[in-house]
Structure 1
Amino acid sequence: MNIAILGAGGVGSYYGGTLARAGHRVALVARGAHLEALRERGLEVRTPEGAFTVAVEAVGDADELRDVELAVVAVKSYSLAEIAPAARRLAERGAVVVPLLNGVEAADRLIEAGVPDERVLGGLTEISAVRIGPGIVERRSPFQRVVVGERKGGISERAERIAAAFREAGAEARASDDITADLWRKLAFIATMSAACGLARTSIGPVRRAPLGNLLIERALREVTAVGRARGVALPEDVEAKILGFVSGLSDGMRPSFLLDLESGGPTEIDDLCGAVSRLGRQAGIETTVHDVATAALSAGREI
C-alpha cells in the first residue's frame, strides 16, 4: 500500500517505520532536523523488543506525493487544523484518510475542513511512542493497538485492508463495526486520566492513594460515559467497571501524555479531552462537574 504519514512525531514516525519495514511504500511528511535526518540516515525505530533502521521517503510538503492510497493523520489534536488542508488535497486525489488522534471529533473536524466525507474513516491508536531525536523514534509501551472503521458503522473492505496493513507492521489491529463506540471508550479512559492527573499534577499512584482520589476517578469516568450514552453511543454496560479495573492496575508512576504536555509548558489537548466532555455534556443536558473544573483550571494554567 502507498501510505502517507501526516505528522512525523512519535506516533506517526513509529507507525511509518513499522509499515515501511513490513514492505509498504511510506512517505513521512516532516520538517526541520527530523526531515534532514530521515533523508540522510533513514528512520531508527527503537522498541522494547529491539531496534532497526528503515529507509522511508521524507518530504516537507504533502503536495509532493502522488498516488497515495492511505493518509494517516497522526498529529496532536491542537495541530489538526494545520494539517487538514494537506489531508484534503490527498483525499481529493483518491486517498483514504484515517485520523489517529485523541478525542472523538477528529474525523468531523477533517470533514469540516473540506476533506470529502466518503474518504474519511474513524480511527484510534493506543501506544506510547516518542520521537527522542532527529530521525529516532522509540516505542515505550508493550502494546501497539490500532482500530479503524467506517463512521456510519459496519465492516468494509477498505477498513479490513488498512487494519491488515497495521497487523503486518506488528500492531494489534482490527476493523471495527462501531468505531464511534471505540472512540468513546478511549475518551472515557484518557479524559479521566487527564482530569485526575492533570488537576493533581502528579502520576496516577498518588491520585489513587488520596482520600477522595478514587472517587474523583470514578466520577470523571462516569461523566464521560453518561455524555456518550446521551448522544446515542452504544457503550457496553460494563465499560466503567473494565476501565476502573484497568486504572487500578496501572503502575504508580504512570503519567498520561496530557500531564507530560502540561508539565512541559507547551500546548495541551485539553480542548479535545476534558473540554470536549464538558461541551458535549452541556449540549446533551448532562452535568460534567469534574471535567468542567478540569477544563477551566487546566486551560487557565496555559496562560500563567
Structure 2
Amino acid sequence: MKKSKILVLGAGGIGGYFGGRLAENGEDVTFLVREGRRKILAGQGLQIESPFGDAQITVKTILASETAPIYDIVLLTCKAYDLGDAVAAIAPAVSSTGCVLPFLNGLAHIDLLNEKFGRDRVLGGTAKIQATITPNGAIRQYNDWRTLTFGEQSGQMTPRVAALGALFGAAKGVEALPVGDVMQRMWEKLVHLSTAATMTCLMRANVGEIVRTPHGRAIFLDQLRCGAAIAAANGHPPSPAFMQSWEETFSQKDSQYSTSMLRDIERGGRTEVEHILGYMLEKAAKAQIAHETLLLAYTNVKAFEERRAAGRLS
C-alpha cells in the first residue's frame, strides 16, 4: 500500500517532535524549513530527547522554493503571527486531493485556512505537548504530554481521519485521538488557554502566585466563566466536566502552571495576543458579554508590544 506523503512545516517543538516520530516509524515525511535549520538537520539529523525514548533520525528537508503539489497531508505547526507566511509557503505543496492539519493555538487560523484551501480540505486539531528546541538544535520533550486530537470540521468520522489516527497511533511516544467533535474541543481549549493567558499576562505571575493573593482565585474563576460564555454564544458551551477540571486547576495555590504568552513577554519576544485574546475580545463584544478583565489583559499585552517595537523593554 502506498504511503501518504507528509509535509511538516517547520521542525520546532511540535512539528519536529510529531513529524520526527512519524519519520522514525518509517513514514514518508519531509520537513519544510529555512536554510539554517536545514543545515542543522543535514549535519546531525533530527534529534529528540524524550521520556519515551531518545532518537536521532535522518530526515528529508526542502526549502519554500523547492515545493511541489505532491503532499497528501500537510502539518501546520507555526506560531500564529507567522500564519500568513506559513500559508503562502505550504499552498504550492498541497496535492489536489491533499489536506491541511493545523496544530495552532486558538481558532482564528481556521477561517483563513478555509478561505485558502476550502473547508473540506482543512481539519481541526490540537496538540498537547511541552517541547522546545535546545541550543544544540535537538527537540526536548519535558513531560509525558504527547497527545494529538484531530477531526473533520463537519464532525464526520471520515476514512482520512481514521487513517491519520492509525498513522500517528503507530508512532512511538504519540497518543492520537481522532474525534467527531474537534471544533468543540478546540473551543474548550481556547477557553482554558485564553483564561490562563489573560490572568498570567495581566498579573505577570503563574497560577499559584495569582491564587495565593486575596482576590486572585475569584478573578480567575470569573474570567473562566467569561470564556465559557463566549464559547456558548458561538455554539460550543463547555461541558460541566471541563469547567470543574479547570476550576480546580485555577484554584491550586501551589500550581506553577504558566503560559507560553507570558514566557514570550518575559523573554521580550513576539506574542500570539491577537490570535488568542484579540479573537476572544472580538467574540465577546459581538455577543455583548462583559469582558473587562479580558480587555485589560489584551491592552496590557498590546502596550508591551508597543514598548518592544520602540526598543524600550530594558
TM-score interval, smaller chain = over 0.9
Instruction: Please say if residues 76 and 269 of structure 1, whose CA atoms lie closer than 8 Å, have aligned partners that are also in contact.
Output: yes
Among 22, 27, 30, the alignment partner of 1:27 is 30
Correspondences of 1:74-85 after superposition (within 5 Å): 74-85=77-88
Aligned to 1:126: 128
Aligned to 1:185: 188
Tell me whether 1:219 sits opposite 2:211 in the alignment: no
Among 53, 60, 64, the alignment partner of 2:63 is 60
Q: Aligned partner of 2:220: which letter?
A: I
Within 1, Cα distance between the matches of 2:57 and 2:125?
25
Instruction: Please say if residues 277 and 288 of structure 1, whose CA atoms lie closer than 8 Å, have aligned partners that are also in contact.
Output: no
Instruction: Please say if residues 211 and 253 of structure 2, whose CA atoms lie closer than 8 Å, have aligned partners that are also in contact.
Output: no
1:219 Cα deviation (Å)? Answer: 1.4
Instruction: Please say if residues 150 and 159 of structure 1, whose CA atoms lie closer than 8 Å, have aligned partners that are also in contact.
Output: yes
Within 2, Cα distance between the matches of 1:6 and 1:226?
34
Within 2, Cα distance between the matches of 1:92 and 1:250?
50
Q: Aligned partner of 1:196: which letter?
A: M
Within 2, Cα distance between the matches of 1:179 and 1:251?
32
Among 151, 161, 164, the alignment partner of 1:162 is 164
Within 1, Cα distance between the matches of 2:238 and 2:122?
23
Tell me whether 1:300 sits opposite 2:303 in the alignment: yes
Structure 1 residues 156 and 234: alpha-carbon distance in aligned structure 2, compared to 1, 3 A threshold: farther
Aligned to 1:137: 139
Correspondences of 1:150-299 after superposition (within 5 Å): 150-169=152-171, 170-248=173-251, 252-299=255-302
Instruction: Please say if residues 69 and 92 of structure 2, whose CA atoms lie closer than 8 Å, have aligned partners that are also in contact.
Output: no
Aligned to 1:91: 94
Tell me whether 1:11 sits opposite 2:14 in the alignment: yes
Q: Aligned partner of 2:271: which letter?
A: T
Structure 1 residues 246 and 234: alpha-carbon distance in aligned structure 2, compared to 1, 3 A threshold: same
- Is 243-252 or 217-226 further displaced after alignment? 243-252
Within 2, Cα distance between the matches of 1:217 and 1:42?
43
Post-superposition Cα deviations, 1:248-284, rounded to whole Å, max 9, x if no partner, equal 4696333211111111111101111121111111112
Q: Match of 1:110, SS? A: helix
Q: May I ask how many residue pairs the two structures share in their alignment?
A: 303
Structure 1 residues 24 and 249: alpha-carbon distance in aligned structure 2, compared to 1, 3 A threshold: farther
Structure 1 residues 151 and 68: alpha-carbon distance in aligned structure 2, compared to 1, 3 A threshold: same
Post-superposition Cα deviations, 1:135-190, rounded to whole Å, max 9, x if no partner, equal 41111131111111111212111112112222222322111111111001111111
Q: Aligned partner of 1:164: which letter?
A: A
TM-score (norm 1): 0.93
- Is 23-32 or 221-230 further displaced after alignment? 23-32
Q: Aligned partner of 1:2: which letter?
A: K
Within 1, Cα distance between the matches of 2:253 and 2:79?
24
Within 2, Cα distance between the matches of 1:246 and 1:26?
37
Instruction: Please say if residues 70 and 94 of structure 2, whose CA atoms lie closer than 8 Å, have aligned partners that are also in contact.
Output: no
Q: Match of 1:44, SS? A: strand
Instruction: Please say if residues 63 and 89 of structure 1, whose CA atoms lie closer than 8 Å, have aligned partners that are also in contact.
Output: no
What's the RMSD between the two structures over aligned residues? 1.8
1:83 Cα deviation (Å)? Answer: 0.6
Instruction: Please say if residues 106 and 275 of structure 2, whose CA atoms lie closer than 8 Å, have aligned partners that are also in contact.
Output: yes
Aligned to 1:115: 117
TM-score (norm 2): 0.91
Instruction: Please say if residues 30 and 59 of structure 2, whose CA atoms lie closer than 8 Å, have aligned partners that are also in contact.
Output: yes
